[in-house]
Amino acid sequence: MVGVISISDNVRELDVFPPIMNLISRSIIRNISNDLWMATETMDVLNYDWNVKWYHSMPIDHFSYRAVEIFSLKYLVNYSYFHCGGPLFFYVGNEGAVESFAQNTGIMWDLAPSFHAAIVFAEHRYYGESKPYGERSYTSVSRLGYLNDIQALADFAELISFLRTDQGELGFCPTGTEIPVIVFGGSYGGILAAWFRMKYPHIVDGAWASSAPIRNFYGTGVNPDRVSNITTTNYVNSGCDREVFSKGFSAIEKLSETEEGRKKLNRIFHSEPGYEMESSHDFINLYSYIYAAIFYMAMSDYPYPTNFLTPLPGYPVKYVCQNATKAKTSDEGLAEQLYNIINVYYNYTGQLSYHCFTDGCQKLTPFHNHDEDTAWNWQCCTSLTVQTCDRGGENDFFLNTCGNSDSLINTDMKYCTKLFENIGYNSNFFKYEDAMIRYGMTYNATSNIIFSNGKLDPWSGGGIYENSPGIMEAMKKGVYIFHMSDAAHHLDLRAPNTCDPPSVTYERFQVVNILKCWVYKNCTELPKSNPLPDNIDWQVPHNCQFIKYGYPWGYMQSKK
């Protein structure tokens, strides 16, 4: 589509522009899948040992009593710390290869020895190597239809049940030995961890759901523009002039409308030769490219250098804001400011000569896992219909994509239909009420779940708060809520570090005491949670180092 439409009025009027959830997650999957998860941080690297296992008898459909198809589900294990009577620490796989989450969920590895815990990371069906139909898994709705959260949770339930049987890997314990199960998950995995406890309380003793936007669905009352509002607030509080972005987006849109302007953008953004901007339509591609970098840095705003998505400095948002304290006055100057910001995300190591963001760039990235892109988009277009949009104006510095609730649903359905119509999809597959119906959004009957969110994390707006329906009743039954200042996306699940904010360290300390109560049945009274420090006077240390087996991290057991 090459016609010029005023993007500033409503980006969603362009049917080529994907919903934010799809836009954001697709590149995350790409980065995870091309082995960037292998840590190459400037600090000491923590490497973990695991064995690869396969459960070869996993039903493709858990809920049919006539289907007999099975597939092999991959999972990673480490039983070196396990003693009979200890717990099973079980990570519910996210939207990517399971190794990435095993490498980046350091808190499980750190706590396992003291709990004598078995460690299992289960891969999510249709991701990594757990493909029910092999390379044909993504070619029709009849095959992709088995990709959803309900089937994935049933996979995890069956795997755990098998591991604890006489034939399972933990079946060597004496008859009657209890093996409590604690599930961990971050982001989509955090949603799954909470839902797993809610749906299978007889299997799961407790869940730690970090950075889980579990209320970011249609009909929950959560404003869909909260994600972009938090992102904007993080950048502004870190010293950025919001007009660098708001005026910058208008500037690149204006420049993209003329041949001379596109030449300037190609020069400023170091466009890949042969894939330069050639029409006004390419503004959408450039905007998406910039948007993704801004959003990822907000998600990955960790206090120390990381390489989870791509190599980044510590607190990357503050890093880029040092040179974005005042917006330039010319269109070219504004475009250059945006380039300097996103170049930190895409090219912090300085090894990238060109940026590629126009149609056809995927040809230059043979490592790009299109199957996993397809899988995640399918989930977003069926049962995992997360509602997000940008409003612009006072709410955020992005372009307006919100419209009203009905237009969001209709636009997302149109996008999904266009994306999957060649394999048999239609708008009836867009089940935007599924999460509400299957799990509910009232938590008065919920127990034994830790909901933790970082205030820097864009997705925290869709998390659980004290005013969430039924949550006050649930807090009497082992549901805990922690809000960590200066913490981004599931920082608390990463390996402890000397540069972690005090709020994260104290949250982990309290979580360990909660886990002990869930694991050890002699616990007669649930621990009470205490407020976390706000980190106002906290200064990040200069030398960041991982802390191995450091519990209680300076806190006394008697601290209340």
The SS3 of residue 53 is: strand
Outline where DSSP puts E strands in 17-159: 51-59, 70-78, 88-92, 118-122
Distance CA 503, CA 329 (A): 40
Q: How far apart are CA 327 and CA 331, in angstroms?
A: 10
Cα–Cα separations (whole angstroms), residue 169 to 54, 58, 187, 492: 12, 16, 29, 29
Q: Which two tokens stand for residue 341?
A: 């910001």
CB 433 within 8 A of CB 218: yes
Peptide bond into 180 cis (omega under 30): no
| Strand (E) or helix (H) holding 181 | strand 181-186
* DSSP string covering 473-511: HHGGGTEEEEEETT--TTGGGSPPBTTS-HHHHHHHHHH
Q: Name residues whose C-beta falls within 8 Å of residue 458's C-beta, 6 or more positions apart in sequence.
A: 227, 228, 230, 231, 234, 295, 298, 299, 489
Provide the residue type at 107 as one letter: I
Number of Cβ atoms within 10 Å of the Cβ of 83: 11
Strand-pair partners of 118: 88
Q: Which of 468, 475, 466 has its CA nearest to residue 446?
A: 475
Tokens representing 90 are 């079980």
- Paired tokens of 336: 């250059």
Token pair recorded at residue 385 = 């219909």
Across 379-395, b (16+ Cβ under 10 Å) vs e yields bbbbbbbbbbbbbbeeb
Q: Report whether 403 contacts 411 (CB < 8 A).
A: yes
Which residue type, as a one-letter code, is found at position 317? V
Give the amino acid at 446: T
Task: Answer whether 221's CB lies under 8 Å from 239's CB.
Answer: no
Q: Is the CB of residue 510 less than 8 Å from the CB of residue 529?
A: yes
- Dihedral of CA atoms 364, 366, 372, 378 in degrees, nearest 10, equals 40
Residue type, 475: M
Question: What would you measure as the largest C-alpha separation in the chain, in angstroms?
Answer: 77
Give catalytic residues, as residue numbers: 187, 457, 489
Q: Where are the beta strands (DSSP E) in 347-427?
A: none
Residues 374 and 133: their CA atoms lie apart, in Å, by 14
Round to whole Å and give the CA distance between 4 and 14.
Answer: 10
Environment class of 350 (CB within 10 Å of its CB; exposed 0-12, middle 13-18, buried 19+): exposed
